[in-house]
Structure 1
Amino acid sequence: MTVLEILIGIAFVAGALATGWVYTLTDRGRTLGRDTQKANRRARWWLRREFLGRHWPFILLILAYTLGFGVIAAMVS
């Protein structure tokens, strides 16, 4: 693993954490923890329409970071 790959990994993790932190500052994000706890009491909480309907921007951003990291890591290798 090269230094460049390590730096790219750190940048993507930091970006995902920063995105999560900024999201929790919004009105919608303030309820993320409570909604997750409520949804965890039920099976398949990630499929619940109300959870996805409320928090889809955060979920999309995390997926974009994950896919972007995979693509960049594949290009660097």
Structure 2
Amino acid sequence: IHTEMQMIGCSETERAYDVSLDEEDVIVVDFIAERVVDTRPSFVDHISFGKDTFQVAMGNLITCRRNLNITQKALKDQPLES
């Protein structure tokens, strides 16, 4: 059995998207260069990802930032617990 995990993270200024297989990074998205980076060494078999992987990551980033905005608005007037 293998485990695949996709991690999407965002803030107002930062963003991250990576895919791991069995707890090893497989790809990361470089949002500045607008490309997907294969992080596996050359001596292993590579899994091919679709040509739309960067667009999928961008869609997930948009959703992440939308959710962040909704959460910030919902918690804006909540007192901090001490």
Please report the TM-score for the alignment, with normalisation by the length of structure 1: 0.39
Larger relative contact order (CA 8 Å, sep ≥ 6)? 1
Larger radius of gyration, structure 1 or 2? Answer: 2
- Considering fraction of residues, name the structure with more helix: 1
